[in-house]
C-alpha cells in the first residue's frame, strides 16, 4: 500500500473530530528471547514522512532515519517493555497487552482515539479501533511500529554484549538456525523465554 494512503486513513479520523490520535504497535511477539516492546505515537496532523510503513518492510538505515524523524516531529510518544520472565508468567498475548498499556501510560497526555494493530485493550476508557494489519493501514500505527522496532533492536544489541555466544545483535532473538544451534550448545540464558517450546526442548537443566 502506498505510504500516502496511510496518512489518508488517519486523516479520516481527524476529519471526524479526533484531535489526538495514538497509534499503538508492538514488536517481539515471536522471538525466543528478549522483551516484547510496544510504542504509542501521537503524530501531528501535518506530519508526513516519505517511506513510512510497517517496520518489517523498511531497511535498517531508512528505518533509523524514520525513527529520528518521528521522535523529532511527533506530538507525543511512549514506550512499554515487558521482559521474558513476565512473558513466561502471563503468556505472550497478555504480555503484549501489558506493554501496550505501559506505552499508553507513558504518554504525557491521554489521546482521544487509539488505533491499535490487531488488538483491543480492555478497561482503558478511550475510544479505540483494533485494525488487522494496522501497520500497513495507519500512519500512526506504522510510526509506532518503527519506534518499537528501533527500541527493541537497541536492547537486543545491548544483550549481545552480555551474552555474545547467541548472536543477538544479528537475529534479535528470533528462531534462526544459528540461534537454535546456540541454544542447543549453551542452553538458554536469562533473557530466553523458557515457556516457548523451541527453547524448553533445548534446555540443558
CA angle 94, 98, 102 (to 5 degrees): 170
Domain 3-162 has CATH 3.30.420.10: yes
pTM: 0.94
Among the listed residues 196, 150, 187, 122, the one whose alpha carbon sits nearest the alpha carbon of residue 27 = 150
Check residue 32 and report its DSSP letter.
Answer: S
Retrieve residue 123's grid coordinates: 478497561
138-161: per-residue pLDDT in tens? 999 999 999 999 999 999 999 999
Tell me how far apart the alpha carbons of residues 97 and 66 are, in angstroms, rounded to a whole number: 25
Name every residue whose Cβ is closer than 8 Å to that of residue 175 and which is 6 or more positions away in sequence.
30, 31, 32, 198
Q: What DSSP state is assigned to residue 130?
A: E
Does the CA dihedral 56-59-62-67 come out positive or negative?
Answer: positive
Q: Give the C-alpha distances (Å, rounded to integers) separating 165 from 107, 168, 173, 178.
A: 37, 8, 12, 10
Confidence of residue 201 (pLDDT cuts 50, 70, 90): confident
Q: Binning pLDDT at 50, 70 and 90, where does residue 134 land?
A: very high
Amino acid at each position: 500500500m502506498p505510504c500516502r494512503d496511510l496518512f489518508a486513513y488517519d486523516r479520516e479520523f481527524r476529519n471526524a473530530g479526533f484531535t489526538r490520535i495514538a497509534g499503538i504497535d508492538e514488536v517481539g511477539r515471536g522471538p525466543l528471547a528478549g522483551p516484547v516492546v510496544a510504542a504509542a505515537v501521537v503524530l501531528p496532523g501535518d506530519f508526513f514522512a516519505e517511506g513510512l510503513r510497517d517496520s518489517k518492510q523498511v531497511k535498517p538505515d531508512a528505518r533509523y532515519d524514520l525513527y529520528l524523524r518521528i521522535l523529532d516531529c511527533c506530538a507525543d510518544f511512549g514506550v512499554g517493555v515487558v521482559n521474558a520472565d513476565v512473558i513466561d508468567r502471563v503468556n505472550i498475548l497478555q504480555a503484549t497487552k501489558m506493554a501496550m498499556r505501559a506505552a499508553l501510560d507513558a504518554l504525557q497526555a491521554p489521546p482521544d482515539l487509539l488505533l491499535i494493530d490487531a488488538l483491543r485493550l480492555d478497561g482503558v476508557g478511550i475510544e479505540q479501533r483494533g485494525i488487522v494489519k494496522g501497520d500497513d493501514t495507519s500512519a500512526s500505527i506504522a510510526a509506532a511500529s518503527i519506534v518499537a522496532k528501533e527500541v527493541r533492536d537497541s536492547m537486543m544489541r545491548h544483550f549481545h554484549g552480555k551474552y555474545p555466544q547467541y548472536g543477538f545483535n544479528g537475529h534479535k532473538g528470533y528462531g534462526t538456525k544459528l540461534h537454535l544451534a546456540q541454544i542447543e550448545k549453551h542452553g538458554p540464558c536469562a533473557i530466553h523465554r523458557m515457556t516457548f517450546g523451541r527453547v524448553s526442548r533445548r534446555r540443558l537443566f
